[in-house]
Amino acid sequence: MASHCVRSIGPVATIGEGLQITLPQGVLDALRIGPGDQVEFFHVAPDEFLFYVATRPLPIAGIVPTRVRRPVTIDEMNHTFASMERQRRKSAKRKEKRK
């Protein structure tokens, strides 16, 4: 990265010769991690990653529905799949007509 693009918003770690990163002690303490712990990396944007401690669950607030949905019957599933297939065929016919 060019020096004019460097932005530091907190503690900085350096990549060593063996391509290993040594995290600052303050980061290790805040995350409650140490040697042997694993982290997962998530690509969130070009040139940006987040990492989480792999041995701890991620917060899922807002991801998982709070209400339990009622069970769906086989007939309801079959009806839904038949409707989807009809829609797919209609769409394919329209595309064929355009050619």
Compute mean pLDDT per 10 residues along the chain, 99 residues long, and list them.
Answer: 59 89 89 86 86 75 65 90 90 80
Residue 39: name the closest of 51, 28, 30 by CA. 51
The verdict on 42 and 77 lying in the same domain is no
Does 35 fall in a domain?
A: yes
What's the rounded Cα separation, in Å, for the pair 3 and 28?
27
User: Range of 90's domain?
Assistant: 69-99
Q: What is the CATH classification number for the domain harbouring 46?
A: 2.10.260
Tokens of 58: 């991620």
Counted domains in the chain? 2
Predicted confidence at residue 1, as pLDDT, reads: 45
Does the pTM exceed 0.75? no
Predicted confidence at residue 71, as pLDDT, reads: 85
Residue 85: name the closest of 95, 74, 77 by CA. 77
Does 44 fall in a domain?
A: yes
Predicted confidence at residue 47, as pLDDT, reads: 86
Residue 53: name the closest of 72, 34, 77 by CA. 34
Does 58 fall in a domain?
A: no
Residue 47: count other Cβ atoms within 10 Å of its Cβ.
Answer: 8
